[in-house]
Chains A and B, each alone.
Chain A
Amino acid sequence: MKLQTRILCLGLILAIISGGLTLGIAKRAFDAILIGQVGQIGTSEVNNLGEHAADGIRERSESVLLPQLQSAQQASGAHDAIALDAAGNVLAHTEITRTGEHYENAFHVDVLSSSDTVVRRTADMLIICAPVWEKHVADLGEALLMAGAPNDSAETRIGSIILEIPLARTLAVSSRIVDRLALIIGIIGLAAITGLVLIVRGILRPVELLIAGTEKIAQGDYGTEIRVSRADEVGQLAGAFNRMSRVLAETTVSKEFMQGVFSNMTEPLFVVGMNGQISACNEAALALVGYERSEVLGQPLGMVLGGQLCSLDKKDVMQEGWMESVKDAEKVLVNKQGTRIEVLYSAAPLKDVQGATQGLIVVARDMTERKTMETIIRRSEKMSAVGQLAAGVAHEINNPLGVILGYAQALTRRLPSPDDPSAVPLKSIEKEALRCKNLVQDLLTFSRVSKVEKEPTDLNKIVTAAISLVNAQARMGQINVVSKLSDNLPHFLGNPNQVQQIIINLSTNAMDAMPSAGTLTVKTELRDEGPLSWVCLLVQDNGTGIPSDLVSKIFEPFFTTKPVGKGTGLGLSLVHEIVKKHSGTVDVRSEPGFTEFCVKFPVRFTDRPKEAALS
C-alpha cells in the first residue's frame, strides 16, 4: 500500500475514533446537565408542594390536594403528580382514575421510605419524591409513640409527594445539540484530512521524483538530476541524490550501454576466452556465420569460422593476436550454409586493468559486398577503356577495311562467270573483311551507347523483328526458335536498335551454346518487383550451360569461351552496357542443359504507348 494511502487511512480512523469519543462524552455531559436542571426544577417544586400539602394529606382530601398537584405538574412540566399517605396509598393523582391505588413495589417502598427528597431516573422518566412532614407540639405520649421512628425530630412523616417528569423532550434537545456538534466535528475532520493529504503530498512529491530518478539511473541514464526547491531534509536528500548522479555520470559506463554498443555494432565481433573458445559474440557475428548463439558460444573459434575449410588455421586463432594485434588480414571463412565468405580479419588481445591478457577480440568484416563492388568497378573501367579504344581506333581500322571490301566487291562484280577460279578467294576476302567490319561496328556501338535517344518502346515488336533475323541463323544449326510473348506489355523508355541488339546478341550466344541442335526460347513478360514494374526479356537455351566459375566473367569485355576467330568477346558485354544505359538489369541463371538470361527494363507510368509522329 502506498504511503500516502496508509497515512490517509490512519488519519481517517483516528478522526472517526476521536470524533466518536468526543460525541459520546459530549452526549453524556449534555444529558447529565439537562437532566440535572430538570431535576432541580422538579425538586424545588416537590419541596414546595411538600410544605403546602401537609394539610391536604392529613385530612386525606383529594379536593385540596389535586389543585396543588396540578399547579406543580404545570410548573415542572411533569407527566404526573401524586400525593400519597405514609402507607403508600394514593390520596390524589393528576390522573384521577388512579386515586386509591396502593404503591407497594420495591422501587416505591425504597423511595417512599427515604427521609430526604429522592431523585430517581428511569429510562424515560425522572421520578422525584419528597416526604411530607407534620410539625406538632409534642406531648409525652406521642413522643414515646414516636420513639421507634427513624426521624427523631419533632416532625412526623404523614405522606409523600411524587412528580414524574418525562425526559423525552430533554433527551431530544440533547440529541439535537449532539447532532449539530457531530456536523461541526465532521466538517472540521474533513478539513483536517484534506489538509493532511495536501501536506502528505507535499512531502511525498520529492520522494516520487527521487524514485523516478533512481530508476533512470538504474537504467544507465547517469547524470539524471531532480529539481526540489526545498531547504528541509527532503531538499538535502535531493541535493545529495543529484551530486551522486553527477559523480556516477562522470565515473561510470553502464553495462547496458556497453551491451548496446556491442550488440548493435555492424562489424561482426567475437570474444574468445583463454581456452580458445568463443565466450561472446554480437548479432552481426551470428549473421555472418549463420549459426544460432547457442551453437557458437563455447565452441572453438576456428571451428565456427569454417573448421577445416577455413583459411584461418589454429595458429591464426591461437597465436596471432595473442602476442600482438592482427589488422585487416584477408581470410576466407565458411558459414553454416557452406558459403565461402571473404573477410578482413583483425584480432587483438583483450587485456584487463592490470594488463593481463584475458582473451582475444576478433573482428571479421564481410568483404563480399566490397568485392562485388570492386568487380563492378573493374568491369566498368574495362568497359570505358574499351569505349575509348573503340573511339580512337575504329576510324583508323574502318578506312583500310573499306578499301579492302571495296576492291573485293568490285572485282567480284567483274568476274566473267560465277565459276571463275578467282571467285572463291575474292568471296573469302569480302567475307572476312565484313567480319572485321562487324567487330568495328560492335566497338563503335560501345563508344556510342552513352549517347542514345530513347523513346517509348514496345518490346514485343522488337522481339518479333529480331526473331526474323535470328531464324535465318537458326536454320543453319537445326535450332528450333520459340517465342512466347506476353500480351499487354507496357511500353518502356528505350532505344529500339539497341534493344534489338540485345536480343540478337543473346540469341547468338544461346545458339553458340547449342552447336548441334536445341531449342531457343525468347519470352517477354511483365513483373512487379518492389515499387516498380519491369518489362522482362528472357532468352533461354538447353545448351551446355555456363560453368559457375565463369558466370561472373561473361559480361566482361573480350571474355569469350569460343574458339579464336569465332567470337569477339564483346557480345554479352555490349548487352550489359546497353542494359545499364537503360537503367535495367541483366541476370544469368545456368546449369548444364539450361541457361537463362533475364533482362529487365523499368517501366515508368508515364511511358504509355504513344503514336509515332511521322513528319
Chain B
Amino acid sequence: MKHAPADSLNILVVDDEEGFRDLLKWEFVALGMNVETASSGDEGVALLTTIRFDVVVTDITMPRMDGLKLLEHIKTVSPRTEVIVVTGFSAVETAVYAMSHGAFDFILKPYDINDLLLRVKKAAEAYTQCRSCGRSAA
C-alpha cells in the first residue's frame, strides 16, 4: 500500500455523474492533491484495496452500490479515512443517517464549490491529526 506525502493528500471522488467527477478532479489536482475517481460504489471499493485515501467525497444516489454502503465499507476497512457525503436536495434524512455512521460531513447538491473545498480541507486536517495521534500512540 503506497503512502502519499503529507502535503499531498489522496482524494477519492465517487459520483456517477461524469461532470462532477471531472470538476472535482480538475479542482483538486489544481490544488496539488492526488485524485482518483470512481463512477460507483463498487469501483470505489476496488480502488480502496490498492490506495489508502485521506478523504473520500461520495455521492449517495448511484447505481449498483450507493454511497451509504461505500461509507460503511470504508469505515470497516479504513476507519481513519474521512468521508464527505454529497446528497441530493431532498435527502436530509440520508445525510443524518450518514453522519451517524461515521461520515465526516455532508453537503447538499447543488453545492458551492468553494464550500466543498473548505470541507475537504477540514477533513484532511482531521485525518492528519488522527494519523499523528495514531503514530504517537504507537
Contact = CB atoms under 8 A, between A and B. Distances in A.
Contacts of B89: 394-395, 398, 440-441, 444
Nearest to A447: B90
B19 A400 contact: yes
B111 interface: yes
A402 interface: yes
Nearest to B19: A403
Contacts of A401: 110
A193 to B, nearest CB: 98
A440 B110 CA distance: 10
Contacts of B26: 407, 410
A402 B88 contact: no
B72 interface: no
Given A399-B17, A400-B19, A403-B17, A410 B113 contact: yes
A398 B27 contact: no
Contact of A406 (B30, B88, B90, B113): B113
Interface residues of A, number: 21
A461 interface: no
A402 B61 contact: no
B112 interface: yes
A36 B103 CA distance: 148
Contact of A399 (B19, B24, B27): B19
B20 interface: yes
A224 B110 CA distance: 82
Interface in A231-247: none
A201 interface: no
A406 to B, nearest CB: 4
Interface size class of B (residues with CB under 8 A): 10 to 19
B114 interface: yes
B109 interface: yes
B110 A402 contact: yes
Nearest to B115: A409
Interface in B82-134: 88-90, 109-114
B23 interface: yes
B109 A399 contact: yes
Given A409-B113, A441-B89, A444-B90, A395 B23 contact: no
A448 interface: yes
A413 B20 CA distance: 18
Nearest to B88: A395
A360 B112 CA distance: 74
A157 interface: no
B88 A409 contact: no
Contacts of A409: 112-114
A410 B88 contact: no
A403 B90 contact: no
B112 A398 contact: no
Contacts of A410: 23, 26-27, 113-114
A402 to B, nearest CB: 3
A401 B109 CA distance: 10
Given A398-B109, A447-B90, A406 B61 contact: no
Count chain A CB atoms within 10 A of each CB in B19, B20, B24, B110 and give the residue with the most. Answer: B110
26 contacts: A395-B61, A395-B88, A395-B89, A398-B89, A398-B109, A398-B110, A400-B19, A402-B19, A402-B110, A402-B111, A403-B22, A405-B112, A405-B113, A406-B20, A406-B113, A407-B23, A407-B26, A407-B113, A409-B114, A410-B23, A410-B27, A410-B114, A414-B30, A440-B89, A440-B110, A448-B90
Given A399-B109, A405-B112, 7 more contacts: A398-B88, A403-B22, A405-B113, A406-B111, A414-B30, A441-B89, A448-B90
